Structure 1
């Protein structure tokens, strides 16, 4: 039996879980107020604060560190790397401490996992961080050499549900072609070709369908006109793209459940906007089908919006069932996905990679 500690730091919370093989033993989400986090100028400064939260969780759970087989943290903002499981090493930790490729609370996952694991001589891992980059060379071209398409998406959940659907099919992940649609506050739609995400929209920086709070791909000339109009600041412009876009801009809320209630009550405008978001998602599913030469074994709907079977799932099924069978795996259990990755490493079912892999040279 393998006992695994999962550490998943988010912007305003620390999610923790203990698994024994595939079985969840204990789980907690510790919320952090803005007052608690305000003294920390940089994400790395939160290190001791977050570590204390984790130690308290372990004390309450009754499991000493020495009883664990491995610790896995949510992967942070690193250089672009292929998907997989990585053992935390000194270079990875140094880049995360420096915030070399960006600052995010998830950077702390590997750092804390490594320190706790080293105290008891067990491995520390990360798996499938948001910077997973397996794009085909052709998918990198944007249309102008000054701009390259980047791979930033919900890699951990996308790959976890892709493996689960492949298993349902009686196949391995690297034997199938899937389109995975993660629908949350951000929406990423990936073309999975035999175990690699060969094309995906950049869910962070304004690429793809509009979402509960992001504008997605916008008409470029209109963006340029607004940016140079003198009526809007740089920060306000960024907020139009991410934070104040999508459902927030149209309906003044990023709560999809509230929008669904409006639809149920017969609000025609809310229904129009919600359907428009569904249509944009369908268009991107079509793009990813083209990236797979329309050889698609299945379309997987996941993330929070996949719970909406009466509207969003129904609409997407109606639009896309002609491409491939639809599979629905709601939510996005990152702790479970991380525990499964650590278990594959411990059992020798997947080779653990060294950071950075030799084939990546983008320091």
Structure 2
């Protein structure tokens, strides 16, 4: 059966789209939005019409008839907690994303745009592996302070797509395996997939630092700095997510530059890079205890996983836990498309989003 799928993934300064015929990409485009164009809009939701028009224009300019599309899939926005997999986009979801989003975020536009384009040609639209996927067990939510539960926010789209890809490669069912997946990118998320469910994670504020994020910090020292009078709340947030991690030590966010520093004999760079691998390995070890060490494989993915230097350092520390697989990169458009393709082929069933009820 032939299916043509449009995928939509908006970012802060771009909108990425693709057309796949089944698993074959036939058109991929990143539409760039100039800063002055984005700054015209006071609210993110106001960008909807502009981005939708540009998507339709790109398809028209490349001779892609929207009537040839069988389904549309969009990056899931910041909804209340949802299950992994596909959700059919409906009026409840659109109302939530437009009027009561959990957080104002550009990803919220994806479903809105997909839904409106879908109505133009009378086809169904979906989100897949939303940013808000949360399948934590009760015990994993406990943080140490009542009323401040842990939440599951991470790179679920890439992690789950990579876990499924690995499972298929060894002719196993994803739901039959225990996998630890470490997304190594601008942010780092480590997830435990237990028999097809993401039951725990080490989020980017709980574990390893990354290129520009601090990760876990000594809490007493953070509190002292917060009340020192030197910083506003915004300043602290900008340090933690933007000026921390590798950048704070070496004034670069590019791991390739760090490796060049190491090659030239920079001992500080060597120490920071080894600490990065050390902390990632600790996070992997931490999650292995949740399944009593019964880990079928450890998967390293994301852009930083292209680095043999960092993956080799991690492998040496964690291969006693389980087989280490390197599947680098992050193809979100492919992950979205393949997810919905499984729905169209009846290999998965799409969830129905309902407001005012618990989604998990």
Q: Normalising by the residue count of structure 1, what TM-score does the alignment of the two structures yield?
A: 0.96
Shift of 1:123: 0.7
Moved more, 55-64 or 65-74: 55-64
How far apart in 1 are the matches of 2:219 and 2:228?
14
Shift of 1:248: 1.3
After superposition, where does 1:189-208 map in structure 2 within 5 Å?
Answer: 189-203=190-204, 206-208=205-207
How far apart in 2 are the matches of 1:352 and 1:360?
17
Shift of 1:60: 2.2
Shift of 1:143: 0.7
After superposition, where does 1:79-90 map in structure 2 within 5 Å?
Answer: 79-90=80-91
Aligned to 2:184: 183
Q: Report the RMSD for the aligned CA atoms in angstroms.
A: 1.4
Aligned to 1:58: 59
Aligned to 1:110: 111
Q: Which runs of 4+ in 1 moved over 4 A?
A: none
Checking the alignment, whether the CA contact within 8 Å between 1:152 and 1:201 is kept in structure 2 is no
Aligned to 1:247: 246
Checking the alignment, whether the CA contact within 8 Å between 1:307 and 1:330 is kept in structure 2 is yes
Q: Normalising by the residue count of structure 2, what TM-score does the alignment of the two structures yield?
A: 0.97
| 1:254 match: secondary structure | coil
Matching of residue 10 in structure 1 with residue 8 in structure 2: no
Matching of residue 49 in structure 1 with residue 61 in structure 2: no
Moved more, 32-41 or 172-181: 32-41
Deviations 1:89-120 (A, max 9, x none): 11111111125201111111110100111111
Aligned to 1:354: 352
Shift of 1:36: 1.4
Aligned to 1:315: 313
Shift of 1:306: 0.4
Aligned length: 359
| 1:170 match: secondary structure | coil
Aligned to 2:326: 328
After superposition, where does 1:132-171 map in structure 2 within 5 Å?
Answer: 132-171=133-172
Structure 1: stretches of 5+ with no match in the other structure: none
How far apart in 1 are the matches of 2:318 and 2:354?
38
Deviations 1:121-159 (A, max 9, x none): 111000001111011111100111031101000010010
